[in-house]
Structure 1
Amino acid sequence: MSISTNPLKRLASQTAIYGLSSVIGRFLNYLLVPVLTYQFAPAEYGVIAEFYAYMGFLAVVLTLGLETGYFRFRTAGHDDPQRVYATTVRVLLVINSGLFFAIWYWQQPIADLLRHTQRPEYVVWAIAIVALDAIGAAAFARLRADNQALRFAGIKLIEIGINIGLSLFFIVLCQQAFVNQSHSVFAQLWQPDVGIGYVFIVNLVASSVKLLLLAPQFKDGLHGIDYDLLRRMLRYSLPLVMIGLAGIVNEMLDRAALKYLLPFDDQTNLAQLGIYSACYKLSVLMTLFIQAFRYAGEPFFFAYAKASDARQVYALVLNWFMIVCIFLFLLVTLYLNIFQYFIGAAYRDGLSIVPILLAANVLLGLSINLSIWYKLTDHTLLGATVALLGAVITIITLWILIPRYGYQGAAWAHLLCYSVMVIVSYYLGQHFYPVPYDLRRLFGYPIVGLMLYTTHQILTKTWLIIPQWVTSTLLLILFIAMVAWFDGRHLWRLQQR
């Protein structure tokens, strides 16, 4: 089989559909950042960032890696796909329900441990959200495996719509009514002592509605657990939990660590965390693209693995993935003077970390693509070792850099971690599952991106007579022209076959 654009078209179309929920939908959710950062002080926003970091860790643990395990065992041909699904659903339901009630029972000691003694309800709300999402993950995995991307996207968009709508209703409308019309019906719905708690309440409602919409997907998934199958699935999936935890350490430990490693009082540390987290949101376009690609890419890579030209297609996919990532890097950094207005003025002291975080996310996306080798070859333990190496680097660099450089150190820790992981993943992948990646382009496009960004920085400081948006647009057009020249013609030739 020769290299065909058909699998690429299929992957692109799936990515586009999933993008309705994960990119476009999450982008709409991202528009809540101005609402939160203009309505709440940095210390209050820091509490939100802190708890959502904890929830990120729990989300990995409570799915047990069974999403990927479901894909693997469903397509392996040795087990009944229905039995694989039922086992996945029942296990997630039991584990998450049990942990929710345990944390509900010990909410106060946990709140004391987290230094939120006065707010134990935050702990309960957080674990409820994570448990509902983890149970729903099995149904979403089935939708992805069955190529029901439109239903997947529709449910995600409804969840996001509820989250956005209720957030605007409570945090904007009701709060303003409380201030301006204290006797109105809307004003009675705003309780100042709840404050940022409305963020958790709204998320909990949205997650509950999502699970109700997924109910049809559970009708065939409550028939019992095949314990022999479960043992084999866990043997495959639990290393993925280690990888996922290591990934969350790399992605979110900074937000949990800033509160404890910065050399100030808790309130000041939370304010610094709030500034860092808000500026981190300015790199979210890259994160959202990577997430959408990941949703579509994982089932695609498994399904296409037996094709004769699979490795050549994987190489081509990574090449275009890198092009899109560098385009997003330039889009945000060249127009940062515009993107900055997505966060409140009190948060803009941290804008200098945005290019660093964007570069780190480029490396994260590259690492995710390169890591396909251990999933296809069942070397999940070795893949876990790579992720754990990254986690160790993250922990050490955060411990060293944050007390000295504050949230700037946290941003650089991301970049250092993902740099090492990319190098190690590439060399292990070439040993266990060699793919003919075009290294000239994989190195060339990031170098071009950094050169264009540096040029922009110099021009904006020296050519003050030229509006900044003019230089930004010209440099972005230059990058697009280079891509069209070096890769557009090649893609056009493939299209004609």
Structure 2
Amino acid sequence: MYKKLLIQTIIYSIGFLLPKIMNYAFLKFFTKYLKREEFSLYTDMYALSFLVIGFLSFGLENTYFRFLSKKNHNKEVIFSTIVIIQFFITSFFLILSVNSIKYLISIAGYKNHPEYFFMFFLIIFFDTICILPMAWIRANEMALRYTTINVINILVQSIFIIYMFSFYTSLKMIPFIPKFYSSIFEWINSFTDKIGYIFFANMIASLSNFILIIPIFLRKVSIKKFNKILAKEMLNYGIPIMLGTIAFSINENLDKILIKRWLSDEINGSYSACYKIASFMSLYIRAFRLGIEPFFFKKSEDADAKYYYEEIIYIFIILGLIFYVLICGNITIIIDFLIDQKYHMAISIIPIIMMGNLFLGIYTNLSIFYKIIDKPIIGTYISLIGVSITILFNIAFISIPNSSFMIPAWGTITSYGSMVLILYFWGKKKFLKFYNTKKWNIILHLLFAFLLVSYIINNKNRIEINFFLQFLYIIIVFLFEKDNFFSKFK
């Protein structure tokens, strides 16, 4: 069982990680050719859009997986109902936002860039509408199809970015370009800086992704199969998850939004670039989740479900800590490779944000328990506590004169760490109870990894010793866990 699960996770990981690797390749390109204030604008637009997507998603992806695991519903009715709900919500957003664009750009401080907001309205629309078809592909274990769509998406985006940055100025002068395309070129010419090229490429990629999943809509979605009673149940289940998702988006993006407006674009550019490196951990979390989450819901009715959940969460933590040590232990090498020197001033946030993201991953895996007992409101309460902590740290950040961007970074790790502890102590009597041995093993692994990374960072010039310590760490973990962990994949 574990072998199949591992293979499935690897296949999904390729489809998820390859596009992300391409994005990190462009990170070096962007930080080299863009000013820090331009990069700040780039990250700010995505931060704002993530907040919107968190709302528009309505928790329907998790809702879809949960309702699939219930045997009293037809799968085609479930999919048709939930897709129609999503399409209605997203279409309403697009119509409302386009008609309110002047008001929105004034609030956000983008009066000089209305075209950016228009592109992001379309990006948000297409990306949100594609969430459920991609979930359908995962639920039907079509890993190759999932990977193919993601690869095509990133190739389209990459080709457009390379073209726009490298060849656009010469090709736009070709005299025989049709009038329609000429109008597009004229619109692109109105962009005030090259950040618009990135957004335009993303818009085209999102559109291509939508086109690729249209066959799923045509074959699997029918208005006749829409079930009003089921739709109400789905919304009741999904809204608490949506609130938790919004809280997560605030946790992830509030710091960057405030640093841009409270300190400067230059500082926010550096902070955002280093934050992206720290987000390596989120790649691991997402890759793990892609293969594991459908399995979690499928096993929810089994008598031994709790055993499997606890085993997999334990595996997740151990692998995550190894990943943490290897990335943070070599951060001076990685940061030189991925971002330009002028962005290095915020390097100190990386180990803190990475550990915070690992806590988030632990919480995400633990949260499966309240989802399978149909009480997502538990996650809402915990997420609101987490976001309250984030807001408090950010209030301190903007209230203290000459404050440091390290305050929001510490807010991230405190918020996610608190969420893990609250969920664990709340749920251990009901559905989660690690054996005492494993509980102490986790604590020891966390302390060991964090102390090792702290030592390596404080002695970053001792490269040979640091490499040896990382190698020794992996050997120790292997010897310590070979019977408890690695044997499961035999």
Q: Do these two structures clear the TM 0.5 threshold for a shared fold by scoring above it?
A: yes
Confirm whether residue 41 of structure 1 aligns to residue 35 of structure 2: yes
Give the aligned partner of residue 382 of structure 2: 386
Give the aligned partner of residue 3 of structure 1: none
Give the aligned partner of residue 238 of structure 1: 239
* Aligned-residue offset at 1:286: 0.9
Report if aligned partners of 1:18, 1:292 keep a CA contact under 8 Å in 2: yes
Q: CA RMSD in A?
A: 2.1
Q: 1:326 aligns with which of 321, 325, 337?
A: 321
Alignment gaps of 5+ in structure 2: 178-184
Confirm whether residue 449 of structure 1 aligns to residue 452 of structure 2: no
Give the aligned partner of residue 198 of structure 2: 199
Query: Distance in 2 between the 1:123 and 1:193 partners?
Result: 13
Amino acid at match of 2:244: I
Distance 1:417 1:233, change over 3 A: same
Query: Distance in 1 between the 2:240 and 2:151 partners?
Result: 31
Give the aligned partner of residue 122 of structure 1: 116
Give the aligned partner of residue 434 of structure 1: 432
Give the aligned partner of residue 249 of structure 1: 250
Distance 1:101 1:493, change over 3 A: closer
* Aligned-residue offset at 1:402: 4.6
Query: Distance in 1 between the 2:91 and 2:303 partners?
Result: 44
Distance 1:485 1:428, change over 3 A: same
Give the aligned partner of residue 408 of structure 2: 410
Give the aligned partner of residue 417 of structure 2: 419
Query: Distance in 2 between the 1:218 and 1:184 partners?
Result: 38
Distance 1:471 1:403, change over 3 A: farther
* Aligned-residue offset at 1:309: 2.7
Report if aligned partners of 1:67, 1:137 keep a CA contact under 8 Å in 2: yes
Report if aligned partners of 1:129, 1:207 keep a CA contact under 8 Å in 2: yes
Question: What whole-Å deviation, never above 9, does each CA across 1:400-444 have from its counterpart, x for those lacking one?
Answer: 135543321111110110111111010122133123252122111
Query: Distance in 2 between the 1:366 and 1:244 partners?
Result: 16
Report if aligned partners of 1:370, 1:429 keep a CA contact under 8 Å in 2: no
Give the aligned partner of residue 180 of structure 2: none
* Aligned-residue offset at 1:30: 1.7
* Aligned-residue offset at 1:257: 2.2
Question: What whole-Å deviation, never above 9, does each CA across 1:248-304 have from its counterpart, x for those lacking one?
Answer: 1112221222233x2x4xxxx222211111001111221111011222222111111
Instruction: Map 1:10-89 to 2 at 5 A.
Output: 10-89=4-83
Amino acid at match of 2:372: L
Amino acid at match of 1:312: Y
Question: Aligned with 2:72: secondary structure?
Answer: coil
Confirm whether residue 480 of structure 1 aligns to residue 474 of structure 2: yes
Instruction: Map 1:141-220 to 2 at 5 A.
Output: 141-174=135-168, 191=189, 193-219=192-218, 220=220
Report if aligned partners of 2:460, 2:466 keep a CA contact under 8 Å in 1: no
Query: Distance in 1 between the 2:146 and 2:364 partners?
Result: 22
Question: What whole-Å deviation, never above 9, does each CA across 1:323-367 have from its counterpart, x for those lacking one?
Answer: 221122112222112111211122111111111111111111111
Confirm whether residue 360 of structure 1 aligns to residue 359 of structure 2: no
Give the aligned partner of residue 287 of structure 1: 282
Give the aligned partner of residue 276 of structure 1: 271
Residue identity over aligned pairs, in percent, reads: 26
Query: Distance in 2 between the 1:495 and 1:100 partners?
Result: 47
Distance 1:413 1:495, change over 3 A: closer
Query: Distance in 2 between the 1:38 and 1:67 partners?
Result: 37
Report if aligned partners of 2:13, 2:290 keep a CA contact under 8 Å in 1: no
* Aligned-residue offset at 1:74: 2.1
Amino acid at match of 2:412: H
Question: Aligned with 1:303: secondary structure?
Answer: helix
Confirm whether residue 398 of structure 1 aligns to residue 394 of structure 2: yes
Query: Distance in 1 between the 2:368 and 2:30 partners?
Result: 37
* Aligned-residue offset at 1:479: 1.3
Query: Distance in 1 between the 2:429 and 2:478 partners?
Result: 33
Question: What whole-Å deviation, never above 9, does each CA across 1:79-133 have from its counterpart, x for those lacking one?
Answer: 2111111111112122212211221112111111111111111111112101111
Q: 1:350 aligns with which of 340, 346, 350?
A: 346
Query: Distance in 1 between the 2:52 and 2:46 partners?
Result: 10
Amino acid at match of 1:451: L
**Would you say how many aligned residue pairs link Structure 1 and Structure 2?**
473
Question: Aligned with 2:222: secondary structure?
Answer: coil
Of 435-444 and 98-107, the range deviating more from structure 2:
435-444
Confirm whether residue 99 of structure 1 aligns to residue 93 of structure 2: yes
Report if aligned partners of 1:59, 1:130 keep a CA contact under 8 Å in 2: yes
Instruction: Map 1:453-464 to 2 at 5 A.
Output: 453-460=453-460
Report if aligned partners of 1:44, 1:274 keep a CA contact under 8 Å in 2: yes
Give the aligned partner of residue 181 of structure 2: none
Amino acid at match of 1:259: K
Query: Distance in 2 between the 1:138 and 1:399 partners?
Result: 36
Question: What whole-Å deviation, never above 9, does each CA across 1:56-80 have from its counterpart, x for those lacking one?
Answer: 1111211211111111122211221
Amino acid at match of 1:436: F
Query: Distance in 2 between the 1:294 and 1:459 partners?
Result: 34
Report if aligned partners of 1:243, 1:384 keep a CA contact under 8 Å in 2: yes
Question: Aligned with 2:370: secondary structure?
Answer: helix
Report if aligned partners of 1:27, 1:285 keep a CA contact under 8 Å in 2: no
Alignment gaps of 5+ in structure 1: 1-5
Amino acid at match of 1:388: L
* Aligned-residue offset at 1:13: 1.8
Distance 1:107 1:492, change over 3 A: closer
Query: Distance in 1 between the 2:144 and 2:433 partners?
Result: 32
Confirm whether residue 375 of structure 1 aligns to residue 334 of structure 2: no
Question: Aligned with 1:92: secondary structure?
Answer: helix
Report if aligned partners of 1:20, 1:157 keep a CA contact under 8 Å in 2: no
Question: What whole-Å deviation, never above 9, does each CA across 1:350-408 have from its counterpart, x for those lacking one?
Answer: 11111111111111111112212111111111221001110111111111135543321
Give the aligned partner of residue 312 of structure 1: 307
Question: Aligned with 2:22: secondary structure?
Answer: helix
Question: Aligned with 2:122: secondary structure?
Answer: helix
Report if aligned partners of 2:9, 2:290 keep a CA contact under 8 Å in 1: yes
Query: Distance in 2 between the 1:202 and 1:495 partners?
Result: 41
Report if aligned partners of 1:311, 1:436 keep a CA contact under 8 Å in 2: no
* Aligned-residue offset at 1:33: 0.7
